[in-house]
Structure 1
């Protein structure tokens, strides 16, 4: 049986006149931080101060010896090296690497004689390698000014329009010694599918041999043998299938349960067990309906034959130093996504293939995973030394992630097919088209035919249409935000929106902790350094102007930009949901951040919730209402994404800010499961006068409609009363309004940096009240709810009275 010896923990790091303790897994930056050798790169402009780290060469060392049982072979195994490394043991070179996204294995049997031997991993700067390859192959276009497209490394470590430039190096995933004899399981690739009410398991097993002896393979599910096969001498590959009648169907959250089955593969010779591989897997069917219709071509994801309305978020690496990620942190962030009503996570192509723990948690929670291959926003050379690295990386990761039922689709790239033409990038040299249209689909067809492949995102399905065509396939909506107001989301009904978003700063405490500016202003140096988008603050200002005018203070700017982000995302999601199934869903850019920054995220870089996070739960609710303009009038879209029909009495009222009823209308409605019904509102009800608005209600669902921009609506004082009662773990804050109180916000981090509220913006009609639950790690002072900007509302902010 294989024996394993972990080599993580204490190492030594040398380079750039430094010698200091290192921790593996880890990276140079985290080791330097732990030693106090560099300042916090998240503070002010320290990112620039520590830029030299990414351009230096570094060396990791520790002594190793095999102290396990005797074996015929001992391998040194790296699950991940970042990125350009030379590995040597006892002064003997073992190999060189140039890909962060692969693992490496070296036979070190002859080099381990029982005495400790120095293991050296020498890292060359990723800049050095990328610039060498660029010089060799020639320039390629790029949306950002760094050479990330010339090296197989996490692209966003070179900076992005939401991320810092912190180019890492290090042993970023586990390293170990493995002792084995006779043979071992080199790869196990299970494809677990479901169709016609039954599960099917197809496995491909590859063994690495030291001897040509007969080998046996045994496959167990939940401890029951479901398949057995033999590898005669000389054979190293075996395919097995099983149709276990006891497995249950796995479904995404909201569409069923998530049963997982323990899968075990054993390799033996005679009665001797040589190796054992274990994972959990689930059985489900996956397809994407991309067929033609009268409006173009569809893009509807189907799981187990059932169309799924996608309520998705884009995922970037949750830490600029991904070695710091733990299973607990993955679980925290993914559970937060579920709490926000999310059912799909898109792993974006400028990051990494995430750790096994990420996909296991998604399996358990029922979160669908859309996995990009790692290409983003650039032309990528197809020549060596990159082509063979791409092939090896893709084959390894398709195999590695095969067991996970949550993984439902592979996508070739992020925006490369679109930007190449839209930006007018040159066709004189290779640019990646071969990867996306030939190489990667062939790999997926060979290794993982159970999951549909997409050439990229966005992609219209072929060159017959422009890649970002609203009528075909997936669409990225970036004219809105970059150039257009968010109400322009209503100008089209794309078939599937794979990216869209609107910026806002992080929570107040997150921004204040990251910036030393005094005073801190929207355009002060530290705030601007933590705004990476091109003219990002200009776009924020232009986005505010038609809705709220010019903020009167930094605090007002912070509040209004948060509110405008919520307004924008609500405008898009409600519009697109009203077009289901014509529009197959949307994927917000983005769920998370990897440092404190003004960005499109719902959860900021310190893990604090922006108001958008809470809004997502409302937008993704199984049942909801939205008032939408259609054909010169207004309709109520009754949104039912639940597995049961929804029947009731839809009521629409026209009211004043003081609560006076000006018009009323009601009608019975009945909406089938997973469907949307549009109900036209009579014109006499929608004849909205000054200071009037509409309220639509059905059961517990409510939607409001205001006919004029916020800045033009008369907002009288709502006469808010706020009382806070201490409770175990925090405060219950009761907010009551005598008049209309729009967009009341309690910012819990202004009470205590670790305090959390259970809701974001809320609107109260005259006479209504709501309780906001605030929880924290220490006893919270109820008097602080009266402090400036802890609780405020739109009328107060627009009046400049805070």
Structure 2
């Protein structure tokens, strides 16, 4: 019963199925598997990097071309009786041929395929062809057959089971891929084979860890079979009855510890081993309970309600095969360092790689998984319906072992689209996805993974009869801010759970400079190409509102719009968190980018942290002070009470003490305290020249009574001293001592070296105070430039009455 796996990743070539506007070499282009057509053509020097300048606009032909991947591999006959050709992922519509014989077809990027090929294999050289039909050809033909459906974009992504954002989004390029995007191998065996193992780990009614395991076997004979399962010192036998293919067992695992999100505890993980004869399947899981209060949309882990400090996740690259485990780890480390405890995998992307969920388990990051439906009416006719069912079953089983995964969500914004975007008139009774979100998906989740809650979509208020975006129930998406309203409108309403909200800002200077070869000026066409949002350039400037002045130069535009993004999102989070426990979640749009672009991301397409990231670290910290409605709200999302003497001072911008109040406070663990502001500090004598400072322990909040455009901010005066960071000469310390109040002091060392990073940003100093910034990652030619513009910035540079 041994199983032999032969990877088939070498020797591939790529050829086009018709005329193309580049000269392909005779014999084809060398191809990388896993990979895709774009990356192969790029590696061969046949296309320019689609992420740079406006090169994307000249590559649309790739998604309208048929392509063939071919390899020749050696095979030697063995004693096994069965051999399958296994594709973990094909993108997307393909015909597979072995030695000229068709073995099967595919039409779904979101699932794997297994084809029996033993009788087709030859001693010696074997030829394997994967012929891809152009995604547009397939999707547009199915659209013509089934009838068009409304959506946020005119592209046909609803008619093909493929990563929707391949077809372009309001933050992403249109780069429609084909390719063998996940591993491929031959698997040979004799006798019964472990075909599938489903692992469900949770807590029983008494809070004791338990494991429910189901084994599926592929068998030739009809005799009884016996397998064993081991986990955390416990063992059980799985008896597969004669002629049956499945057996299940449930184990109590009292010796296992509970898995927690990193903000609440530890993350013990346990190996699970299933043995059938000489075969062994191994996996890893953790034990925790998860529950969802539906109306309040309150997630609980191990019976503890959790305020979700979340970020939305999009595919980290338009070409997912390039996303390594280390790259995911780096993104997750950035999320954890910013105080994030949940990542929502958005529905226009993918079921992510095994690395993604394994790393979330290890780092204690909760995962909300959308099923891949986004911003469109999706037809439910064949062949799409059966493809959806197959992909969902496969991914439910694949992802079920991961304790980090706490929610299945049916779609992104399709329920809202049907209710509020005028789709019903366009549909004229045609299917749009209701049967998926309220029928097929919940049924499959209940059957395959009853340990996790299912939610039909986001936004959603808990019933098809209710408005999807009702702030009093379920989840909301807040896009009036950014699209039309000033960010202070976040404070108009108390929401139950905000699953999407955000504000745009440009990427880091070094990222933009790499992506754009032309001048970096206001209104530069190539910068505009890296802005995919509708009216995005104008919205960036309108969004400055009364908060910050209109920029007079590119450097000011870059600084002020980045700062405004950080302030807008931070304002919203402070408001949402101050309403705990009525509001129990905020998920920022978005953590990451897939290419260098002006967008809502906190970490840009080259992995650099924008000012928004530093703001998130402050407002997603366990403890937060937020001024709202004449009171200071003390948000304490930690396991211990927050106690001490709160000091409130009203000061002039010159630092002069104008009023002072002190009071002893105590805020319970996981609670919010409200301290009314005494009149002496609540109302300024001259709002343009005064500031409120709140201090409790090591935490300080600085609140201004007026917007920056109305503040009498003095011209910035400070001393900046740059020294080597350590004895080895690696890194730099930048000590800034304020001679005037300095508003939102920020350091951008990537302007001097793309590899340079700084540890802190957006620091406000009163006159006489100092801050130390640590710069790492580069040896600078002119370290003293760290102490002056445009590297060192503050609002004083530009603001004033």
Whether TM exceeds 0.5 here: the answer is yes
> Bigger shift: 409-418 or 509-518?
509-518
- Among 180, 184, 198, the alignment partner of 2:189 is 180
Counterpart for residue 550 of structure 1: 550
Q: Is the 8 A contact 1:182 1:210 kept in 2?
A: yes
Q: Does 1:72 align with 2:116?
A: no
Please state how far the C-alpha of 1:643 moved relative to its aligned partner: 0.4
Counterpart for residue 12 of structure 2: 11
Q: Is the 8 A contact 2:709 2:800 kept in 1?
A: no
Please state how far the C-alpha of 1:596 moved relative to its aligned partner: 0.5
Counterpart for residue 292 of structure 2: 288
- Match of 1:131, SS state, is helix
Counterpart for residue 695 of structure 1: 693
Q: Separation in 1 of the partners of 2:755 and 2:78?
A: 49
- Among 390, 393, 396, the alignment partner of 2:391 is 393
- Among 113, 127, 132, the alignment partner of 2:136 is 127
Please state how far the C-alpha of 1:144 moved relative to its aligned partner: 0.8
Q: Does 1:661 align with 2:662?
A: no
Counterpart for residue 379 of structure 1: 377
Q: Separation in 2 of the partners of 1:767 and 1:265?
A: 66
Runs of 4+ in 1 over 6 A off after TM superposition: none
Q: Compute the RMSD of aligned alpha carbons.
A: 1.3
Deviations 1:28-77 (A, max 9, x none): 00000000000011111100111111111110000123348531111110
Q: Is the 8 A contact 1:642 1:674 kept in 2?
A: yes
* Equivalent residue runs for 1:248-259 within 5 Å: 248-259=257-268
Q: Is the 8 A contact 1:3 1:69 kept in 2?
A: no
Please state how far the C-alpha of 1:110 moved relative to its aligned partner: 0.7
Q: Separation in 1 of the partners of 2:465 and 2:558?
A: 44
* Equivalent residue runs for 1:400-799 within 5 Å: 400-426=398-424, 427=427, 428-518=429-519, 520-628=520-628, 630=629, 634-688=630-684, 689=686, 690-727=688-725, 728-778=729-779, 781-786=782-787, 788-798=789-799
Counterpart for residue 211 of structure 2: 201
- Match of 2:32, SS state, is strand
Q: Is the 8 A contact 2:10 2:71 kept in 1?
A: no
Q: Separation in 2 of the partners of 1:770 and 1:136?
A: 65
Q: Separation in 1 of the partners of 2:79 and 2:718?
A: 76
Deviations 1:447-496 (A, max 9, x none): 00000000001100002320011010001010111010000000011100
Q: 1:653 to 1:117 in 2, by over 3 A?
A: same
Q: Is the 8 A contact 1:9 1:25 kept in 2?
A: no
Q: Separation in 2 of the partners of 1:10 and 1:90?
A: 16
Counterpart for residue 368 of structure 1: 366
- Among 332, 346, 364, the alignment partner of 2:330 is 332
Q: Does 1:52 align with 2:58?
A: no
Q: Does 1:264 align with 2:276?
A: no
Q: Separation in 2 of the partners of 1:717 and 1:669?
A: 37
Structure 1 unaligned blocks of 5 or more: 291-296
Please state how far the C-alpha of 1:215 moved relative to its aligned partner: 1.2
Q: Separation in 1 of the partners of 2:637 and 2:522?
A: 40
Q: Separation in 2 of the partners of 1:600 and 1:486?
A: 14
Q: Is the 8 A contact 1:344 1:368 kept in 2?
A: yes
Q: Separation in 2 of the partners of 1:754 and 1:362?
A: 27
Q: Separation in 1 of the partners of 2:633 and 2:603?
A: 29
Q: Is the 8 A contact 1:731 1:780 kept in 2?
A: no
Please state how far the C-alpha of 1:99 moved relative to its aligned partner: 0.3
Q: Is the 8 A contact 2:636 2:671 kept in 1?
A: yes
Q: Is the 8 A contact 2:650 2:659 kept in 1?
A: yes
Counterpart for residue 310 of structure 1: 308
Q: Is the 8 A contact 1:624 1:702 kept in 2?
A: no
Q: Is the 8 A contact 1:363 1:406 kept in 2?
A: yes
Q: Does 1:163 align with 2:164?
A: no
Deviations 1:206-240 (A, max 9, x none): 11112223211100114x35210211220101111
Please state how far the C-alpha of 1:10 moved relative to its aligned partner: 3.2
Q: Is the 8 A contact 1:717 1:796 kept in 2?
A: yes
Please state how far the C-alpha of 1:179 moved relative to its aligned partner: 0.8
Deviations 1:657-698 (A, max 9, x none): 110011111111111100001110012321212300100111
Deviations 1:336-384 (A, max 9, x none): 1111110000000000000000000000000000000000000000101
State TM-score, norm by structure 2.
Answer: 0.96
Q: Is the 8 A contact 2:223 2:241 kept in 1?
A: yes
- Match of 2:379, SS state, is coil
Q: Separation in 2 of the partners of 1:10 and 1:742?
A: 58
Q: Separation in 1 of the partners of 2:458 and 2:11?
A: 42
Q: Separation in 2 of the partners of 1:578 and 1:798?
A: 29
Q: Does 1:82 align with 2:91?
A: yes
Deviations 1:368-408 (A, max 9, x none): 00000000000000101110000001011001101100000
Deviations 1:252-308 (A, max 9, x none): 11211000000011113xxxx2x2111110000000112xxxxxx311110000001
Please state how far the C-alpha of 1:785 moved relative to its aligned partner: 1.4
- Match of 1:442, SS state, is helix
Q: Is the 8 A contact 1:75 1:177 kept in 2?
A: yes
Counterpart for residue 294 of structure 1: none
Q: Separation in 1 of the partners of 2:79 and 2:611?
A: 59
Q: Is the 8 A contact 1:627 1:703 kept in 2?
A: no
Deviations 1:152-194 (A, max 9, x none): 0000000000000000000000001111111111111110002
Q: Is the 8 A contact 2:6 2:186 kept in 1?
A: yes
Q: Separation in 1 of the partners of 2:251 and 2:682?
A: 61
Counterpart for residue 283 of structure 2: 279
State TM-score, norm by structure 1.
Answer: 0.96
Deviations 1:699-736 (A, max 9, x none): 11111221211111111124111111112421111111
Q: Separation in 2 of the partners of 1:797 and 1:533?
A: 27
Q: 1:68 to 1:352 in 2, by over 3 A?
A: farther
> Bigger shift: 30-39 or 244-253?
244-253
Deviations 1:738-766 (A, max 9, x none): 22100111001012111011112211111
- Match of 1:770, SS state, is strand
Please state how far the C-alpha of 1:780 moved relative to its aligned partner: 5.4
- Match of 1:47, SS state, is helix
Q: Is the 8 A contact 1:202 1:239 kept in 2?
A: yes
Counterpart for residue 293 of structure 1: none
- Match of 1:3, SS state, is strand
Q: Does 1:218 align with 2:228?
A: yes
Q: 1:768 to 1:67 in 2, by over 3 A?
A: farther
Q: Is the 8 A contact 2:193 2:217 kept in 1?
A: yes
- Among 148, 152, 171, the alignment partner of 1:143 is 152
Please state how far the C-alpha of 1:799 moved relative to its aligned partner: 6.5
- Match of 1:170, SS state, is coil
Please state how far the C-alpha of 1:786 moved relative to its aligned partner: 4.1
> Bigger shift: 193-202 or 399-408?
193-202
Q: Separation in 1 of the partners of 2:272 and 2:192?
A: 20
Q: Separation in 2 of the partners of 1:636 and 1:746?
A: 29
Deviations 1:564-612 (A, max 9, x none): 0011011100000000010011000000000010000000011111011
Q: Separation in 1 of the partners of 2:321 and 2:748?
A: 32
Q: Is the 8 A contact 2:711 2:800 kept in 1?
A: no
- Match of 1:65, SS state, is strand
